[in-house]
Amino acid sequence: MASSDDDWPSYWWWRDGPVSPGDCVIVDIDGVLADAAHRQHHLDGPWRDWDSFFADVGDDDVLDEVAELLVLLAPELVVVALTSRPTWVSDATLTWLVKHKLRWDLLIMRPMGDFRPSPMFKGEQTEALAELGYLPRLAIDDDMRNVRMYRDLDLPTLYIDSGYHPH
């Protein structure tokens, strides 16, 4: 299944081992590939229960339209699943990706102890990818904060309105 080794950050997982650098597409998971609607109630109210929200990731349905879009992308494109999910749900996330036969080459998750806003984390990872020769050509995200960050990096971005994030 997935692999992570000493040459890569511990929060990066390759599906079948590292692939050669080249053009890539960055795709978010929650609200883009995964339907997290059944978990949203954990974030209602004044106290957001992020632990419970993430504990249920294995029960998500697939959002078929984006899954199909990934299938239709040119085969030479590297598909990077870049998510703000914490690494403590990496096993559940990897199992979910494989179970649903989704296209992905690299999974990047938020390392433990990283509580920065999503755009800071994802922006840093996007720049790290580019520095390693994985040149982002498109990003797909449901959080307008991330969309604005990607567009500030001059990266074309497809916005998916999951209904989870205020505009």
pLDDT digit string, tens, across residues 26-57: 999 999 999 988 888 888 878 888 888 888 88
**pLDDT of residue 70 exceeding 60:** yes
Cβ-proximal residues to 76 (8 Å cutoff; 6+ apart), any chain: 22, 23
pTM of the model: 0.92
- Has residue 14 been placed in a domain? no
Q: What are phi and psi of 149, to 5 degrees?
A: -65, -45
- Has residue 108 been placed in a domain? yes
- Has residue 152 been placed in a domain? yes
Model confidence at 1, pLDDT cuts 50, 70, 90, reads: very low
Mean per-residue pLDDT over the chain, rounded? 92
Q: Which domain holds residue 133?
A: 20-159
Q: How far is CA 146 from CA 14, 114, 149, in A?
A: 23, 17, 5
- Has residue 44 been placed in a domain? yes
When comparing pLDDT for 163 and 165, which is higher?
A: 163
- Which residues partner with 80 through β-bridges? 26, 106
- Has residue 13 been placed in a domain? no
Residue 125, domain CATH: 3.40.50.1000
Q: Which of 9-18, 25-34, 155-164 has the lowest mean pLDDT?
A: 155-164
How many structural domains comprise the chain?
Answer: 1
- Has residue 56 been placed in a domain? yes
For the segment 93-99, the average pLDDT, to the nearest whole number, is 96
Per-residue DSSP letters for the chain?
A: --B--TTS-TTEEESSS-----EEEEE-SBTTTEE-GGGGGGG-SSS--HHHHHHTGGGPEE-HHHHHHHHHS-TTSEEEEEEEEEGGGHHHHHHHHHHTT---SEEEEEPTT--S-HHHHHHHHHHHHHHTT-EEEEEEES-HHHHHHHHHTT--EEE---SSS--
